[in-house]
Every structure is written in structure tokens, then in C-alpha cells.
Chains A and B, each alone.
Chain A
Amino acid sequence: EVQLVESGGGLVQPGGSLRVSCAASGFIFSIYEMNWVRQAPGKGLEWVSYISSSGDTIHYADSVKGRFTISRDNAKNSLYLHMNSLRAEDTAVYYCARDSRESFDLWGQGTIVTVSS
């Protein structure tokens, strides 16, 4: 089955760190660009970060630049988002999304990150 499965979410204190992961299966992960998209409670979708298929091109939203790091391991069919200096406003469902270069054509079910003391 073609799918993306996120994991690693949880409760973290302000200023803390967390790494969320996305496991891909059912397709050739290494040829796809990937993204992280988040959704704060009751809010809309917000793009967070992009990584090329090889990992050599990366982009971030201004809201997370300097605090979040996207990476991938094509041998493990996995995508990661390492989040540092977390703030209350980073509380959201974090989705990984496959990028077909035309659209986000496959989404995971999301993992919940809550930043609170």
C-alpha cells in the first residue's frame, strides 16, 4: 500500500526540542521531493519545509527558519523534521506530504506536537 506514516509527536516544553519522522512505503521514496505541512488547532494549512529528492535543496517557511531542520534518509525511506527552540505557536498537527512537482499528491495521517509547560 502506498502510504506515509508520521510518528514522534508529543508534549514538549517551550524552548525544547523534538524530532518527528515520516516513514514511506509502497513507492520509490528516493525519487520524490517531500514536504512538511502543519495545521494549528482550528486553523488552516501552513507549509513548513521542503527537501529535494537527493536532499541537496532545502527550503523553510520564515516562521521556522533557523529553528527547524528537515532531512531524509533514502536508504530508510524516511523523512525527518528536527524542531528546536519550540514555541507555543508551533503547536500543530504535522503532516508529511509527497511532492509530485505539480501538487502534494500523498499525505500522512499527521502527528500531533504540543508545546506547553
Chain B
Amino acid sequence: SSELTQDPAVSVALGQTVRITCQGDSLRIYYANWYQQKPGQAPVLVFYGKNNRPSGIPDRFSGSSSRNTASLTIAGAQAEDEADYYCNSRDSSGDHLGLFGTGTKVTVL
């Protein structure tokens, strides 16, 4: 197996843009998925695959990838975007989506 590493915390001013990164060897092969989790709630998928946003997710959420790094960008962050964000991909065997990042706490100032 391998690991997915994220910065523990980032902050962004209201209405500004923030990028959250996720690094790991598996990302050279597989796309990352991104989940938002607010306190006391279950995770919610906000972006997945090469360029997919689930229904109901605002278009200010976007994803990208390069080499071993995946990124989630929130353009024009809103107060309700304050949450923990986790990346996720298949493990090195490719058998399952069993690899989660360490998580990033996003604070909207």
C-alpha cells in the first residue's frame, strides 16, 4: 500500500481562492476523489475522477492533478465551505478505493 499526504490546515479569506493538495505515488496512476466533512456529519463527495462534480455541488469546487499530486480548488470560498477535506484513491494494487489522505482543515476567515 501507499500513503496520501495532505497539509493539516489552510485558511482562506471569505471570497478568495484556496487550493488543497494531496500527494502520493498512487496518484501517478489513479485520479483522486475529494470529500468534505463538517463537524458531526458524514463525509460528502465534492469532486471525483478526472473532472467530475456530483449533482448539487457548487461549481466553485474543481479538481486537477499533475504527476503525484492532486488538488482541490475552492474559488470564491464561502463560510459554509469551512470543513475538513479528504482526498482518496485506489491503493497500489488497484483492488479498491482504500486509500485516504490525512485530511486538511479549511478555515474561512
Query: Using Cβ atoms and an 8 Å threshold, which residues of chain A touch B42?
Result: 95, 107-110
Query: Using Cβ atoms and an 8 Å threshold, which residues of chain B touch A50?
Result: 95-98
Range for the number of chain A residues in contact with chain B? 20 to 34
Per the 8 Å Cβ criterion, residues 30-49 of A in contact with B are: 35, 37, 44-47
Residue ranges of B at the interface with A (Cβ–Cβ < 8 Å): 1, 31, 33, 35, 37, 41-45, 48-49, 52, 54, 84, 86, 88, 95-103
> Would B43 and A59 count as touching, CB distance under 8 A?
no
Query: Using Cβ atoms and an 8 Å threshold, which residues of chain A touch B44?
Result: 107
Question: Given A59-B98, A108-B42, is A45 in contact with B35 using a C-beta cutoff of 8 Å?
Answer: yes
| 15 pairs, A vs B, C-beta closer than 8 Å | A35-B96, A44-B86, A45-B100, A50-B95, A50-B96, A50-B97, A50-B98, A59-B96, A95-B42, A102-B31, A103-B49, A104-B43, A104-B45, A105-B48, A110-B42
